[in-house]
Chain A
Amino acid sequence: MSRLDRQLARLLRAAAGAQRPREVSLPLGFEARVLAGWRASREELDIALVFRMLRGGLALTSMLMVLAVAATYFEVNRVSRDLWSMPNAVVWSASVQ
């Protein structure tokens, strides 16, 4: 350990020994301000949660709508094919005869 190391160590030890007694005195209403901030942030969180849920609900509804439209499209296609199958059969049987 060099002389400079020892000097710094002594300085740090002396500095650590310095007592600065300062009581924990906070201005009036400090606690109330912190709690008010906490309450406000909780309300913000609640609003954010409601918006998140709304967004989720909207996404789910949109997905269901797309599925419903797709299902309807396939159903209409299938029904329309069925719709023409009878006249086609009649025309075909008439032409055979």
Chain B
Amino acid sequence: MLSAGFDAHACVERARHGDETAARLLVERLTPLVLKIVRAHLPQRTSEEDLLQTILMKVFAKLDQYSGAVPLEHWVSRVAVNTCINALHHERIRPELRWADLTEEQEQVVRQLAGSEEELPASHQIAARELVEKLLERLEPRDRMLITLLHLEGRSLDELRQITGWNTTRIKVRAFRARQRMKKHLATLLQESKHEQT
């Protein structure tokens, strides 16, 4: 969220007319927001800095198209998400996730999931995140993005509508199908964990 007291519309208007101070201010204010999106959705073989620069350049190139109908951060998020999706398209989707692909900590997470109904302890959160990222690598880029925004970043459906441009039904259906695919891979891992234990 852009900080309070920052008049985004006025700043955009000034930048459109070539005001360099306004442009500098926009870069300063938008960088943390864009960086957060880039870090959450960064393709494996892409440099964080390069992608950040590409997105900011796109934002400035499209500044004339910003109508002000939605908050600036939503419009910028949309540009960032679409750029990340395009970058992710160049990555090959990994078809399978096997027990051998997991680290020791991730194996513990799977065992914990299989053996208990309790929430995972805080000490397992990083491994859980890595495991989720491995599951996400098996999804289409748009689905990967959707699950990240919805479940990992805790964005609301309203925010998702503004970021993706999709309607609520499409978001729900797509998220449901993505979760189904994740469940399929998780089920395989849970099955393999049982075999490992026996």
Contacts and interface: CB of A to CB of B under 8 A. Distances in A.
A7 B190 contact: yes
Contacts, number: 96
A31 B34 CA distance: 13
Interface in A1-16: 4-8, 10-16
B152 interface: yes
Interface string A21-59: 010101100110111011101100000000000000000
A16 to B, nearest CB: 5
Given A35-B20, A38-B60, A16 B152 contact: yes
Interface residues of B, number: 43
A17 interface: yes
Interface string B144-172: 00010001111000000000000000000
Given A12-B152, A16-B152, A41-B60, A7 B113 contact: yes
B97 interface: no
B128 A41 contact: no
Contacts of A24: 31-32, 35
Interface string B37-60: 001000000000100110011001
Given A6-B117, A8-B186, A30-B49, A15 B35 contact: no
Interface of B: 18, 20, 23-24, 27-28, 31-32, 35, 39, 49, 52-53, 56-57, 60-61, 109, 113-114, 117, 119-120, 122, 124-126, 128-129, 131-133, 147, 151-154, 179, 182-183, 186-187, 190
Interface of A: 4-8, 10-20, 22, 24, 26-27, 30-31, 33-35, 37-39, 41-42
